Structure formats: structure tokens, C-alpha cells
Structure 1
Amino acid sequence: MPSLANTSAPSFQPLQGVRILSLALNLPGPAALMRCRQMGATCVKLEPPTGDPMGQYNPAAYAELHKGVKVQTADLKTGDGQKVLQRELARTDVLLTSFRPSAIEKLGLGWKKLHTLNHALSHVAIVGAPGALGEEPGHDLTYMADNDLVSGLELPPTLYADMGGSVMASEAVLQAVLHQREVYAGTGEPHPQGVFIEVALSSAASYLGLPRAWGLTKPGAAVGGGHAGYRVYPCKDGRVAVAALEPHFAASLCAAAGVEASDMKAMFATSTHQAVAAFLLTQTRQQLDTLGAEQDIPLHTLSNS
């Protein structure tokens, strides 16, 4: 099983020297913070007395997400908690949150107030949906469903909107830092100017769903099962995901299967699908792994579970 801890930090760390304060709980915010930490940022997180729910329902994931992050407890609804928050904000470059807009205002973190108190501070706000829609309830599953990315009654295999949003949020941190440095270099002012960037999980789902919206993954399309070289087939002792889309890969697959396929159009023919399927059904996973390596065919074998 892949591990977040296996993601090595890049040798080039563009956020070295940048301090990030996160108030974000659950998955998108901590995942964005993890990426920023891997890019060299100094990361601090304030959690409520009850902790981050992720720490309760999946301690292992929580531990990996927070490696290298200094976690403190602060009840932001109390005076003492606000003192901790203000102390940390005074030495922060980028604030990361994942509250509804109204909750941000209640905590005294509205952009107008923040920017007045600290012109250098940037704020990356993760929300469910952009603008006024940010007050509406939603989660990864609803954002996926709204973008035609939920099939049948099965749940998606991972939290695409949350993880896509975390990538967009870490990208927004980079944008904020670039903006701060540009203003400083361009004007010669003694202090850089911060910026407010909103990242919506619904927008992340929409972005991930663009190939679907364009028709690329619709049933019958080239990467929607229409091309015989881009499908998941049963094999003798499991399944095989075949991604022989380009002509030279498709030709190698057809040659191995003894299929006559002279051009791209032939790869969409029912007879080609049937012939490739019949061949793969005679092969074990080990045989197919060997075939892929020897004939340069992009494929990956899977168990039936």
C-alpha cells in the first residue's frame, strides 16, 4: 500500500524560510500542509482541544500528514486561544484555513481585518464551493457527484476532490509567496504585500472532471472503453489494465494477441475487442507481466479483489 511517508522531499525547496500557520482540519488542509512541508516550509498548526477528527478515525494517516509539523492546541473561541493565534500570526507568512466564510469572520480572520493588521500576511482559504456557495454544506462525494464522477452506487476509490483541492491549495501558497516576493522586488518597499486566495473543493472536482466533460472518458470514447487497447480485461487468474493507446503500443498488443489491426479505426472494432479479450483470458498475470516488459506494452495486472 502506498505511504505518504514514501513521498520524498524535493532537493529544491522553494518554500524554504516560509512560515505557514494552519487552522485546517480533516484532509485537504493537512494534505496541503504536508506538501508545503515537503517544499521546505516551516509548518505550525493550531488544533482545538478536541483535536483533529482525522487523528481519531485514522491515526496512521494523521501521523503521516503531520510529520515535521509543530502542532499546538488552542481554543480560538476563547481569549487565551485568540492570544495564541495572534502571537502565531505575527510571525506567519501564509495562513491556511478550511472554514466556511462565516466562520472565518466570527474568528476575526476576515481578509480586510487581517490585511490591515499585517500587510505581509497572505491567506489561503480552502472552502467547499466558491463565493457565496461556500456556506452550503458539501463534501468530497457531493462535489464529485455534481461533476458526473460517481458511477452507480459505488463510492469513488479515493477522495479526489479533497486531494485535488490540497494540490491547488499548496499551489496557492506558492502563488502567494511569489506575489509577496514580486511586490517586494518591484517596489523596493521594506515589507511585501500579502494576498488572499480562495481554493474551492468543488472547483478541484470540476477540474479533475474536465476529461469527462470533454467526452474523453464517456462510454465508447478512446479512453472510455471504446479503444481495445485502453481497457480493463479479465485474465486467467485476475485482471489486467491495458493502456496501449498510442499506435506503436496498440500494434505490439495486437501482434501479441494475433490480431489484425491496420489502423486506429480497427482498434474500435468489436472484433478487435473480442480477439484481444480472448487472448488475455488465456494468460496468467505472470505471463502478462513478462509480455509487457518484453514487448514494451503498458499494462498492469491486478487481482480479482
Structure 2
Amino acid sequence: MGKLSGIRVIDLSQFLPGPMLTMMMADQGATVIKIEPPAGDPAREQGPFEAGHSIWFANLNRGKSSVVLDLKSDAGRDALAELVRGADVFVEGFRPGVMARLGFGWQAVQAINPRIVYCSLSAFGQSGALSDHPAHDMAVQALAGFLSVNDGPEGKGGIGPVVPGVPAADVAAGLTGLSAVLMALIGRERSGQGDYIDIAMFDSLLPWCAHTAGAAIAGGPAPTSASQRSLGGAAFYNVYTCADGRHIVLGGREIKFARHLLTALGRPDLIALAQAEAGPAQAPLIAYLRETFATRSRDAWESYMADLDVAFAPVLDFAEAFASDHVAQRGLIVEAHGRHQIAPAIRFAGETWTPGPVPELGDSMP
């Protein structure tokens, strides 16, 4: 059944943050009605494809139904108003002001259904100097300072900021939005009234930076490279290149990990350096480890350190990660309806999860 069985969601969002939020609700049994324009969600056209569907779209919209409405027409607006009357949650991802112009801003929707939880997702929120600025994930990362420390291994002296590997601002907003909607639903049980939630990708990303930003939060200097973050410059929190050009990371600064590895390597004299302040004081140790890791392949180092009790990991590509024993044993890639899906991170004991089908455009009547 799922924890959210009986909850009805109207989803007017596209691309990633909103669809991610509502998909996680659908995974837990909520009835999610995806409202699409006649041309459909643009994500339907984003490749690669499997079994006739965009893999991206499928992994964000499974378990939903699709209703096509032209909200610029009277018939489309009337149909949406009728759906709102029976809904618990309303999610939209347009730029500020768009829904109000269409006649479905917060006040209008609340007038139709006072118990509804209304969630707006946008790049910068419904107010503030940037609220009307057009942006997707990378621009939000840039303006939040996030991108400034997403750089190459040589830092600012090398290639500088790079295109982010994952859409962190999108995902942050989706997760934050889900938390807010669930809180509002709990609050509604107590008050009997719905609520309005203004979720910004920008606002959602900033808390992720609290550890990295360090002194900048209090008005001090900002890190300008990943190597200058609060854990940067630490030998045992770093990336190393192996003899085959692949990489391995040391990912734990506890002194016991340094002791185990450096003793095994015959260099216990360097253990004290691992206890020094991250930065220039650890530079000799980093130089030694770079030279050492360059002598063997990634797989050889993985075998060497397997029994040393060291916090390390080979840097896998996505294909290697998805094919790992751990992913298989936890059932994190599921094949259903002729498609592969990433299983939800939220799964409850005693409940069996199976992915819902991917909606065809307009597969449900309004």
C-alpha cells in the first residue's frame, strides 16, 4: 500500500526538482496526477532511451498518471480546478507569477480547496533580487558559490570550475520540497488547514555548503578550490592517481587509518604529518602518497588495502557502480515494465516496492 496511500497529488512541474518530489510520493503509494501541456514534459525527449521512454523521464515519473491540459484554455482551467477540489497536494515548478496569471496561484487554489498543501519550486524563490532571473541547475550552483569549489585537481591554478557532474541544486530542491510537503501534511492533520511552501533551489543548496564554506559564512575568506575547503589539503581526505590512470580516494582522517596504511607501507615516520593541520603542513605526506599510488594500478591498490582497515575507495564510473555486488544485494537497480529503474532510497521494513509504470502522454482523463 505505501505510507502515502490515499494522498492525492497534482503535479504541474517539469524537468527534475518537482518530478523528483512527486515521484518519491508515488513510490510510497500516493496518487500522482502529472499535468502536461499538449506537447508533454520536455524531459520525455531527453535521451538516452529504453523501451521507448527517456531513461531520465522514466526515473522521475514512474507510478504517475498523465493528464494533458491546455491551461490557456477555459476547458483546461476548468478541468484543473475540478482536480484541485479532490487533491491533497499541489506542486508547480514555474517561474514566479506564472501560476497566478493562469488563475492557479496559492490564493486561488486555497479558495477552491482550503486543505490543500501548495508547493512552489523555482530557482531563487518567490521573492528576492534574483526571483525573476531565469536559471537552471548550473546557474544556481554558480550564484550560490557551489560551483567555485567544483574544480579540477589543480584547483584555480589549473582548469578552474567545471560543469558539475550531478545537478546538485535540482536534487537539493526536490529533497527539501519533499520534506516540506510531508511536514505540511502532518501540520494539516492538527490544524485542518493547508499551507503554502516556497522552495528555492538556491535556498536548498546553501545548507549543503555549511561545512565547505567555513569562514565565509561568518564574513571571512572564501575557499576558491576544492583543495581549500575545510578538509582540503588533508592527505587522508584526497584523490590519488594510480599507475593505470584511474583513481583512488582516501576518505577518512582518523589517525588510525593513517597509522594502518603508513605502517604497512613501511613509513610510520610520516604518521605525525597526518595529524598536522590540513594544508601546507601535510604537503610532504601528500607528495609521498601521490608518488606511491602512482606505482600500482587502481585494482592492485584496492586488493592491497582491503584488509588494512583504511577508509578508501576506488573511483568508479556509473557503469561500475551500478554493476557492483552492493547495488545488487540491496536491490538498488530494478527491472520492471521492460525498463531499468533506480530504486527509492526510502524503503520500509516489511514492505515490498515495485516500480509503477511510466505514464504515456495523456494516459488518463482529466
| Same fold by TM-score greater than 0.5 | yes
Give the structure with the larger helix fraction. Answer: 1
Residues 221/144 of structure 1: CA separation in 2 closer, same or farther (3 Å cut): closer
1:94-122 CA distances to partner (integer Å, 9 max, x unpaired)?
00000122101012112222222211111
> What amino acid is the match of 2:311?
P
Corresponding residue for residue 197 of structure 1? 197
Structure 2 residue aligned with 1:6: none
Identity %: 25
- Could you tell me which residue of structure 1 aligns to residue 243 of structure 2? 236
Structure 1 counterpart of 2:253: 245
2:120 & 2:317 partners in 1: Cα distance?
41
Given that 2:213 and 2:229 are in contact with CA atoms closer than 8 Å, whether structure 1 keeps it comes out as: no
- Asked if 1:302 corresponds to 2:309, the answer is no
1:278 maps to 291
d(CA) in 2 for partners of 1:251, 1:295: 10
- The CA distance in 2 between the partners of 1:156 and 1:138, in whole Å, is 15
Which amino acid in 1 is paired with 2:36?
A: E
Q: 1:304 to 1:25 in 2, by over 3 A?
A: closer
Distance 1:84 1:293 in 2: 60
Task: Calculate the TM-score normalised by the size of structure 1.
Answer: 0.86
Indicate the residue corresponding to 2:136 in structure 1. 139
Aligned length: 285
Task: Give the equivalent residue in structure 1 for 2:57.
Answer: 62
One-letter amino acid matched to 2:243: K
In the alignment, the residues of structure 1 paired with residue 238 and residue 68 of structure 2 have an alpha-carbon distance, to the nearest angstrom, of: 49
Separation of aligned partners in 2, 1:273 and 1:65: 41
- Alpha-carbon distance, 1:304 to partner: 9.8
Range with greater deviation from structure 2 (85-94 or 202-211): 202-211
- Alignment-mate amino acid for residue 272 of structure 1: L
Deviation at 1:154, TM superposition (A): 1.8
Q: What is the TM-score of this pair, normalised by structure 2?
A: 0.72
The aligned runs of 1:133-282 (5 Å cut-off) are: 133=128, 134-150=131-147, 151=151, 152-183=160-191, 192-214=192-214, 219-224=227-232, 226-237=233-244, 238-259=246-267, 260=269, 261-262=271-272, 264-265=275-276, 268-282=281-295
Which SS does the other structure have where 1:214 is aligned? helix
What's the offset of the Cα at 1:43? 1.1
1:35 pairs with 18, 24, 33, which one?
24
Q: What secondary structure does 2:240 align onto?
A: strand
> Structure with the greater relative contact order (CA < 8 A, sep ≥ 6): 1 or 2?
2
Q: Which ranges of structure 2 fall in alignment gaps of 5 or more residues?
A: 48-53, 152-159, 216-222, 319-366
The aligned runs of 1:44-123 (5 Å cut-off) are 44-58=33-47, 59-123=54-118
Q: 1:176-222 CA deviation, whole Å, 9 max, x = no partner?
A: 11111122xxxxxxxx2100011001112222222232158753455
State the one-letter code of the partner of 2:30: A
Asked if 2 retains the 8 angstrom alpha-carbon contact of 1:25 and 1:98, the reply is yes
Q: Note closer, same or farther for the CA distance 1:132–1:253 as it changes in structure 2 (3 Å cut).
A: same
Instruction: Give yes or no for contact 2:119–2:177 (8 Å, CA) kept in 1.
Output: yes
Letter matched to residue 71 of structure 1: S
What CA distance in whole angstroms lies between the structure 1 residues aligned with 2:189 and 2:95?
29
- Structure 1 regions of 5+ residues with no counterpart? 1-10, 184-191
> What letter matches 2:189 in structure 1?
R
SS in 2 for 1:165: helix
Find the aligned partners of 1:84 and 1:304 in 2 and give their Cα distance. Answer: 46
